[in-house]
Amino acid sequence: MNSIVILTGAGISAESGVPTFRASDGLWCGHRVEDVATPEGFEANPALVQDFYNERRRQLREVAPNAAHRALARLGVEWPGDVLVVTQNVDDLHDRAHAEVPETEGFGLIHMHGELLKARCTETGQVCDWRDDIRPDTVSPFSDDATLRPHIVWFGEMPLAMHVIERALAKCSLFVSIGTSGNVYPAAGFVSAARRAGAHTVELNLEPSLGQSLFEERHYGPATEIVPAFVERLLSR
């Protein structure tokens, strides 16, 4: 078994204290998705949208990677083949867990829905690191005439690096989905692409997801328990 693709969702960060999307205390609480997570919402009320993501960006200072993020970082170092982690999460918890281990050539991390700690020029589309609040009048470092928007993929926009993800799915031998409800495409379709490639498919989640029947192996429980246990089994094979 050589090449592994791992898809993660909000469930992997839940025990770090980052709320999931569809729980009752979810991220969209108090806000309609259309207002804070669409290009139309941003056009209608940029201040509201910037504040929504400013709050989430500040929240990252209060949280830390958990045992599940660290187990995947360990897998990236110890697995003899390629490991690509594709996360739907916009937090930086995978990044921080991977920063704690030695760099490995065969490891990759893609934030397919963007990153809270990056900002994008509204004029040129260029992206830069950004840790502070963004105001509607914050001037873009790339153009004096432009402002910044969060580097987040909103509904109706194309997820990032899809060609890299599709290539990895087409040649993977193991596909693992962790902490995602399977509500949002194209991520929810990755399991089918991996199956077409002949990969073994595994779901690790608190509860069965919408696409549960597409996974050959399933383990349910908190990510901080079932992810390290799964990685341990994989590495000791």
Catalytic residues: 113
Nearest-CA neighbor of 147 among 135, 165, 158, 156? 135
CA distance 72 to 78: 10
Of positions 17, 22, 166, 233, contacts ligand OAD by CB under 6 A = 22
Cα separation, 221 vs 75, whole angstroms: 20
Q: Which stretch binds ligand OAD (CB under 6 A): 9-17, 42-50, 94-102, 164-172?
A: 9-17
Among 6, 7, 10, 231, binds ligand OAD (CB under 6 A): 10
Task: Give the nearest distance from C-beta 142 to ligand OAD in angstroms.
Answer: 24
16 near ligand OAD (CB under 6 A): no
Write out the DSSP string of 7-42. Answer: EE-GGGTGGGT---SSSTT-TTTTS-HHHHSSHHHH
What distance in Å separates the CA atoms of residue 66 and residue 18, rounded to the nearest whole number? 11
As a whole number of angstroms, the distance between CA 130 and CA 132 comes to: 6
User: CA nearest 77: which of 50, 52, 102, 46?
Assistant: 102
Tell me the closest approach of the beta carbon of residue 28 to ligand OAD, in angstroms.
8
**From 70-78, 103-111, 121-129, 178-186, span contacting ligand OAD (CB under 6 A):** 178-186
**Binding to ligand OAD by residue 147, rule CB under 6 A?**
no
Q: For residues 83 and 168, what is the distance between their CA atoms, to the nearest angstrom?
A: 9
Q: Which of residues 71-90 bind ligand OAD (CB under 6 A)?
A: 88
206 binding ligand OAD? (CB under 6 A): yes
Which residues, 6+ apart, have CB-to-CB distance to 233 below 8 Å? none
Strand partners, 109: 85
Near ligand OAD by CB under 6 A: residue from 56, 94, 111, 113: 113
Instruction: Work out whether 65 is an interface residue with ligand OAD (CB under 6 A).
Output: no
Q: Which of 176, 180, 193, 202: binder of ligand OAD (CB under 6 A)?
A: 180
Residue 92 contacts ligand OAD per CB under 6 A:
no
Only one of the segments 8-16, 43-51, 53-61, 72-80 lies at the binding site for ligand OAD (rule: CB under 6 A); that segment is 8-16
The β-bridge partners of 127 are: 120
What are the φ and ψ backbone dihedral angles of 157, each rounded to 5 degrees?
Answer: -105, 160
Closest to ligand OAD by CB, 30 or 198: 30
Provide the minimum distance between the beta carbon of 103 and ligand OAD in the complex, in angstroms, as a whole number: 26
Footprint on this chain of ligand OAD (rule: CB under 6 A): 9-11, 14-15, 20-22, 37, 88, 113, 153, 179-181, 183-184, 205-207, 209, 222-223
